[in-house]
Amino acid sequence: MANEASHSTLLLIAQVIALSDGSISKEEEKMILDLPDRLGLTAVPRITQVNLPQLSSLGKQLSNHGDRCLAARIAGLVAGVSRNPEDQQDMNADERTAYRELIATLNLEDSELEEIEFSVRQQLSEGKSLLQTIGDALFGKDQWPDEVLLSMNLDIPGMI
């Protein structure tokens, strides 16, 4: 899978997981739907709450093992970072259902999934925003946004 196509599929997975949460605010929804533009990915199909793709079909589009592991990581990060204060578990029931649908499609070994989930818990403890968390997962830790953009003192929504 080409890098742009892989990133597009991974970003769609992040969006679907985030939108599966039944308690999303209008601001959060707009930020999530604007993620492709904010991350500079032009090939991502635009989605809405009405036309969400199935996670199982998105998972099947990932042809290599690394992308499937990254999909599990991104799904866990998105579900965990959007955790509501009153939630007693890492994911609410809707997010957990969506996460499990994706995981069932990815065909990862139990030991791999345990390692991924451990790294997700560690990364979530850093307290980064959803946008920065997804950017780190797609492009590498602290590789997005580009330092040139940061030095321009632009107001980038979702970066704090």
DSSP assignment of 86-149 equals: T-SSSS-HHHHHHHHHHHHHH---HHHHHHHHHHHHHHHTT---HHHHHHHHHH-TT--S-HHH
Q: Within a domain: residue 41?
A: yes
Q: Within a domain: residue 111?
A: yes
Q: Within a domain: residue 132?
A: yes
- Tell me what pLDDT residue 127 has: 79
Q: Within a domain: residue 159?
A: no
Q: Which two tokens stand for residue 27?
A: 């601001």
Q: Within a domain: residue 160?
A: no
- Tell me what pLDDT residue 158 has: 44
- Tell me what pLDDT residue 150 has: 46
**Sign of the dihedral through C-alpha 55, 56, 57, 58:** positive
Q: What is the pTM of this model?
A: 0.77
- CATH code of the domain covering residue 74: 1.10.3680
Q: What is the pLDDT along the chain (160 residues), one digit of tens a residue?
A: 447 778 888 888 988 888 887 666 676 677 777 777 766 777 677 777 777 889 999 999 998 999 999 999 989 988 887 665 666 666 777 888 899 999 999 999 999 999 999 998 888 888 777 777 777 777 777 665 555 444 444 444 444 4
Q: Within a domain: residue 156?
A: no
- Tell me what pLDDT residue 83 has: 62
Q: Within a domain: residue 158?
A: no
Q: How many domains does the chain have?
A: 1
Q: Within a domain: residue 157?
A: no
Domain hosting 112: range is 3-151
